[in-house]
Structure 1
Amino acid sequence: MADVWIQALAASPWALGALFGLVFADSFLVVIPGELAVTAFGSVSSEIGPPLYAVIAVAAAAAALGDTSCYWIGRLLHPERWRIAARSKRFRHAHAWARRRLRKHVATAIFTARFIPFARLAVNLTAGATKVPPARYLAVAAASATLWATYQAVIGAAIAAIVPGGTLTAVLISIVVALALGWLVDAVMARFTRQATPARRGTTPLP
């Protein structure tokens, strides 16, 4: 029954629209599983879902648009003035971390943050607030969104090609692998950040 439901969802004419909406929302709300949606659609792309190139193109466009929207929100509304900035220690730490990274390594910060949910929100907002030049930001954001979408979708497609057991099995295993790789990327980047940018007095690195 679950296989039938997943196949019907993937074959729906609204499938790519739903994928776009999930990935776009994920740029603002880190509780939305954008990565998992791209991986799941990638795992069914060879048989019943939209083709892999369409999954990658739609996910990349949604990610780039979402990240760019966050950039313009930060540029126009200055998140350091928001009420949450005064109340949330995590928000202040993330904003300070992103500001330090962008000061020295704009392209690297934007590129790597796309793979870390809370970090990408902080970096995109802060890139706007610190007035990173739009042309420079947009070029890096587009490239990182494309690589991120390709990475997530190809994981799903590769797992589906290797592991037997039907659509549901491929989706579940793909999601587990994506979560594990995401955790690994997050851990490696956190370690790299601690080594490259030691915490200053009164601040802590992004957890």
Structure 2
Amino acid sequence: MTEFADLIFTIARSPWALVALVGLLVVDGFFPLVPGETMVVTLAALGASGHGPEPVIVLLVAIAATMVGDGIAFLIGRSVHPTRWVWMRGTRAQRGLEWASARIEHNPGVILVGAKFLPFVRVAVTMTAGASALPVKRYLVYSFFAATLYTGYHVAVAILAGGLFAANPFLALAASIAFGVLSGAVIGGVHRLVTLRRARTSR
């Protein structure tokens, strides 16, 4: 177990860990089936317990990589409408597109920031923003705030867990991931309830 832990810590402290973080977050920006946020939590939690990169480095790298990934989704929406992508034709993706299309023109800032915490919805919203007439400069401002809040939240959770369980970094990591999954499920559940209620009242 000690050798395994040492291996994990060595990998986490390696510059390649940050390279992997960038890659995952960039892909996560337009294809939300990769563990981008899990990697953020992992490196930040290990860093907070003294076995990985400094959490502030993780935060800065994650913000930049997240903006790049979201920017790719925005450009995809600019050139190819989201409904033309096969994987965007599923039920969850379609709900996200409908929700985004109805709101992005009226309040793009709030929608882009809020949707960042909902995996499929955030991609649909970003692509819809690209397909709309939203100016690139305005989008970049919203993207920065969304990426900062999104990554900052996960890094903060990891730092808290890393501080509480400094003597057991793997427990800190497990607690961080579990809290992230739970909070994501709660946010997703609230979003679905609100969407269903609005759908019923609009009939």
What is the TM-score of this pair, normalised by structure 1?
Answer: 0.87
1:58 corresponds to 2:61: yes
Contiguous gaps of at least 5 residues in structure 1: 202-207
Contact 1:27 1:70 in 2 (8 A): yes
Question: Following TM superposition, by how much is the alpha carbon of 1:35 offset from its aligned partner in structure 2, in angstroms?
Answer: 1.3
Tell me the equivalent position of 2:39: 37
In the alignment, the residues of structure 1 paired with residue 180 and residue 87 of structure 2 have an alpha-carbon distance, to the nearest angstrom, of 31
RMSD: 2.0
In the alignment, the residues of structure 2 paired with residue 144 and residue 81 of structure 1 have an alpha-carbon distance, to the nearest angstrom, of 26
In the alignment, the residues of structure 2 paired with residue 73 and residue 181 of structure 1 have an alpha-carbon distance, to the nearest angstrom, of 29
Contiguous gaps of at least 5 residues in structure 2: none
More divergent stretch after superposition (178-187 vs 65-74): 178-187
Question: Following TM superposition, by how much is the alpha carbon of 1:164 offset from its aligned partner in structure 2, in angstroms?
Answer: 5.2
Name the structure, 1 or 2, with higher relative contact order (CA <8 Å, separation 6+). 1
- The code of the aligned residue for 1:198 comes to A
Question: Following TM superposition, by how much is the alpha carbon of 1:10 offset from its aligned partner in structure 2, in angstroms?
Answer: 0.8
What does the per-residue CA deviation read over 1:104-163, in whole Å, with 9 as the maximum and x for residues that have no partner?
221111001111110111001111112212111110011110111111011111111112
What does the per-residue CA deviation read over 1:51-83, in whole Å, with 9 as the maximum and x for residues that have no partner?
111000011111111111100110112223445
- The code of the aligned residue for 1:28 comes to F
Tell me the equivalent position of 1:17: 19
Question: Following TM superposition, by how much is the alpha carbon of 1:101 offset from its aligned partner in structure 2, in angstroms?
Answer: 1.8
Tell me the equivalent position of 1:204: none
- The code of the aligned residue for 2:97 comes to H
- The SS at the match of 2:47 is coil
In the alignment, the residues of structure 2 paired with residue 143 and residue 58 of structure 1 have an alpha-carbon distance, to the nearest angstrom, of 15
Tell me the equivalent position of 1:205: none
Tell me the equivalent position of 2:181: 179
What is the TM-score of this pair, normalised by structure 2?
Answer: 0.88
Tell me the equivalent position of 1:8: 10
Q: Describe how 1:35-184 pairs up with structure 2 within 5 A.
A: 35-46=37-48, 47-82=50-85, 88-163=90-165, 165-184=167-186
In the alignment, the residues of structure 2 paired with residue 115 and residue 91 of structure 1 have an alpha-carbon distance, to the nearest angstrom, of 15
Matched-pair identity in %:
33
Distance change (3 Å), C-alpha of 1:53 and 1:164: closer
More divergent stretch after superposition (76-85 vs 146-155): 76-85
- The code of the aligned residue for 1:59 comes to A
- The code of the aligned residue for 1:80 comes to T
In the alignment, the residues of structure 1 paired with residue 134 and residue 172 of structure 2 have an alpha-carbon distance, to the nearest angstrom, of 41
Contact 1:45 1:52 in 2 (8 A): yes
Contact 1:6 1:168 in 2 (8 A): no
In the alignment, the residues of structure 1 paired with residue 195 and residue 94 of structure 2 have an alpha-carbon distance, to the nearest angstrom, of 17
In the alignment, the residues of structure 2 paired with residue 82 and residue 8 of structure 1 have an alpha-carbon distance, to the nearest angstrom, of 40
Distance change (3 Å), C-alpha of 1:98 and 1:158: same
Distance change (3 Å), C-alpha of 1:181 and 1:83: closer
In the alignment, the residues of structure 1 paired with residue 72 and residue 166 of structure 2 have an alpha-carbon distance, to the nearest angstrom, of 40
